[in-house]
Structure 1
Amino acid sequence: MSRRRGTPHVLAVARGDEPADLLLTGGRVFVPGTREWLDRDLAIADGVVAGWGPREAREAVDVGGAALTPGFIDAHMHLESTKLWVDEFVAAVLPHGTTAVAADPHEIA
């Protein structure tokens, strides 16, 4: 069953009342606010991070020390200057962790 963010399931996983859908174990989590790298497990529910630390999960994957970061935001870019269609741009940046952009359409007349 497909669920949306903020559903009771995500909140229950965050509280530790329900098992996560997926637990990424053995990762290095980057915390942007403190610029720290922490050894933590990440709990995923409905495709979003619902918490960190040891907990029950339906499935666990050992990521072998991989870096786990939040999605990056490109705070200023000119999409039209890339000369790419939007789907091509997304395919180019998403694998590198950019999940949002603040596009300034200065060349659109």
Structure 2
Amino acid sequence: MCLGVPMRVVGGDDVTALCERRGAVEPISLLLIGPVPLGTPLLVHLGTAVRVLDEEEARRIDDALDGLAAAMEGKPFEHLFADLIDREPTLPDFLRGDPPG
């Protein structure tokens, strides 16, 4: 399983950004996405930025990661998955088996 985490650009240059997540700062390669402005949230995997996130998506990913950690510790976690509670799951169009058109 691959896991990407949201990080925020706090410094760096056009090739390597200094990114922060919960107080830890580390260098992150920007070779896959190119230069980005300070403050930009990024999805980071193994020291490489794989895409730019908007604020809402970064928050939802953080909530999901916090929810998983809480569930593993036996703590309440449902509030961290508010976007999934009380909603029917949906399949993408290509998995529904509906005829094209």
Question: TM-score higher than 0.5 here?
Answer: no
Report which structure shows greater RCO (CA 8 Å, sep ≥6): 1
TM-score, length-normalised on structure 2? Answer: 0.26
TM-score, length-normalised on structure 1? Answer: 0.24
Q: Could you say which structure has the higher strand fraction? A: 1
Q: Could you say which structure has the higher helix fraction? A: 2
